[in-house]
A and B are shown apart, each in its own frame.
Chain A
Amino acid sequence: MIFEVAIGDKIRTVGIVRKGGTLHVDLDGRTHIVDARRINDSVVSMLVQLDGARAPSRSVDAAFATQQTAGDFDVHLDGLTIPVQIRPAGSFGRQKKDGPAAHAVGPQRIIAPMPGKVVRVLVKSGDDVKARQGLVVVEAMKMENELRAARDGRVRDVAVAEGQSVDAGAVLLVVE
């Protein structure tokens, strides 16, 4: 089976086959022998034979947490938390070109990062705002979080009112 694995901005191709009691994992052209034992639905113990090692001996206890999108995981190993996107081979490619840079121009949608309550709206439609100027204050988990303009612009749509409860991802206002 062949997967594509995206970590950060790098995509790795991973091929995997079972041979006898072990797995042969081909990672970008190099083969690693893995002795894998499933501990439970979300934990796998691996002994990995990295380059030059005499036997699969590097012990890696890997645990997984699913994210909202199928194929997106947090991989926990060696005290690290590594976000991973894994797809069947050929799934990435086109979509990765639309990086964050694509959002640097055009209207800024100010989005509630978490569920909460709008405590204050500091601007109104038509106001000119400067970069870093406070736009709206959302209270969540007992802290007030001021959401600010990323750059200069003009407030277009104010979609919320003070006192209103908002869900994560709700568009609060738009700055052009």
Chain B
Amino acid sequence: MEKILIANRGEIAVRVIRACRDMGIATAAVYSECDRSALHVRFAGEAWPVGPSAPRESYLRIDAIIDAAKKAGADAVHPGYGFLAENEDFATACRDAGLTFIGPSPEAIALMGSKTAARQAAIKAGVPVVPGTEEPLSDRASDAEVQKVAERVGYPLMLKAVAGGGGKGMRMVASPADLASALRAARSEAQSAFGDGAVYLERRIMSPRHIEVQLLGDHHGTVLPFVERECSIQRRHQKVVEESPSLAVPPELRRRMTSAAASVAKAVGYTNAGTIEFLLDERGSFYFLEMNTRLQVEHPITEMVTGVDLVQWQIRIARGERLDLDPEALLTPKAHAIECRIYAEDPDNGFLPSPGRIQGLRVPQGPGVRDDSGAYEGGEVPIFYDPLISKLITWGDTREHAMQRMRRALAEYQVRGIRTTIPFFQWLLADGDFKAARFDTGFIDRKLGKDPAGGGEKQRAPLQSIDSTHEDLAAIAAAVHLFTKPMTNGVAAPAASPWRDAGRTEALR
């Protein structure tokens, strides 16, 4: 494998380029019109245009990406996450074009990509699943027909997209009265996100935690599970904070969950990186939820607690190498790690997307800190894609140590010119229940005072509380800024020269 084309953008494309560089493999990026100056293009060895900015016309165009890979002379394709990462047609097209797809087989993607088929695979492997419908509901099923099926599953229930992922096309339904509108919303969102409006029903597990198990499988029959990730901190069903290990998973439960995950993957002959998601209820029972047949956004926390470079292993597995990792070591965390997903969203304005130009950027550094980012000073956050701009990861000997480092890193982090979710994480890390790891998947929506009727967030105090001393300092700073800004006739002068400043200070004495 000498050159890899990265069929993605943003932070994950940068992450994959770094893994390639670490292995001495050449890289080719692809980019849409608005991404010409994006970090992944600037980082890559070469870059090829694949179309206009809308994802459907560029990053989701299988033909354009295969064409770019051929022009670049790449011998393999890494899909990242999102876009075409879980698209069996893309994996097939790579195979047909003689390109190694760095991920599972198209057959495994197809099987586990159907949430209902995946449930059946789990049942066959002897792993418990959440009670619900075994078959997708027909697109044409009337509200009344769905109502009948829903009565059998029981309320409250979850409507989920068969092709789903990332919380899209998913709705909680508390009572029969809400079913019709939730069905309409879930189908439409699923249709626009995945091109498939099919949905199915699942019983809602009360106060569950979302625990997932990372796996690697090679082409020689070995499947190895990793220590679990705790992903219960979600907003609108999207993970925002992840940590590893989970405080809710004692070693004995870890053994059972990780071996259940491995047996599902083995049952379908799974290869490369994948993740089995479970719900864990208050009594310590766990249920298979779904399998993600790709690298996860939150993979770095697993890397930080096990010391394994997952992207590098994806590439090595795709090259046919054997997984020669020590299975016990993968289940024994060497540290505690936390990840915060920094989004270009305004947490004090209903988390509305906040695209635009990053006027200034100060990235946290120092011990126990990692920033996986696609942002840079002067760069734009476009409106067309997921507003994730970076993932901030910290680790330490204990959970408390990792959290203290996260607080420090968040205070160092400055993203100027657009709003980000940094203040939200500062608020979360000061919360007593979060500190004590007392939470479930409904935690954030409850804490933010989300309207239980399913609407937006209620009016509340800003997440970021600013005391009067800091307001005073901000007022002083703003006045000093304007007073000292080098201006000539209203036009900003070139950057101040320390020599000239020194001369001026002398003259004023």
Q: Which A residues have a C-beta under 8 Å from some C-beta of B?
A: 1, 3, 5, 7-8, 10, 12, 14, 16, 18, 20-21, 23, 25, 27, 32, 34, 36, 38, 40-44, 46, 48, 50, 60, 62-66, 73-82, 84, 86, 113-116, 119-120, 132, 139-146, 148
Contact = CB atoms under 8 A, between A and B. Distances in A.
28 contacts: A3-B482, A5-B479, A8-B471, A14-B479, A18-B483, A27-B476, A38-B485, A41-B492, A44-B477, A46-B476, A62-B480, A63-B414, A73-B481, A77-B473, A78-B411, A78-B470, A79-B426, A81-B464, A119-B188, A119-B192, A132-B451, A132-B453, A139-B192, A140-B353, A141-B353, A141-B384, A143-B353, A145-B352
Main secondary structure of the interface of A (DSSP, over half): strand
A66 B353 contact: no
A171 B78 CA distance: 42
Interface in B139-179: 168
Given A63-B362, A65-B360, A86-B479, A120 B188 contact: yes
B49 interface: no
Nearest to A141: B353
Interface string B178-219: 000000010011001100000000000000000000000000
B352 A36 contact: no
A44 B483 CA distance: 11
Nearest to A25: B476
Contacts of B483: 1, 16, 18, 23
A7 B475 contact: yes
Contacts of B353: 114, 140-141, 143
A132 B455 contact: yes
Contacts of A148: 455-456
Interface string B468-499: 01111111111111111110000010011000
Closest 7 CB pairs of A and B: A79-B411, A62-B477, A65-B416, A5-B475, A82-B474, A141-B353, A14-B479
Contacts of A12: 471-472, 475
Nearest to B426: A79
B466 A82 contact: yes
Contact of A23 (B411, B464, B480, B505): B480
A5 to B, nearest CB: 4
A140 B423 CA distance: 22
Interface of B: 168, 185, 188-189, 192-193, 349, 352-353, 355, 359-360, 362, 383-387, 410-414, 416-417, 419, 422-423, 426, 451, 453, 455-456, 464, 466, 469-486, 492, 495-496, 505, 508-509
Contacts of A16: 479-480, 483
Contacts of B492: 41
Contacts of B192: 119, 139, 144
A86 B426 contact: no
B383 A75 contact: no
Contact of B360 (A18, A34, A48, A63): A63
B422 to A, nearest CB: 8
Given A7-B475, A18-B483, A73-B481, 11 more contacts: A5-B478, A8-B466, A20-B509, A34-B480, A38-B485, A62-B481, A64-B481, A78-B470, A81-B464, A132-B453, A143-B353
Contacts of A77: 470, 473-474, 477
A25 B482 CA distance: 13
Given A113-B352, A115-B383, A36 B456 contact: no
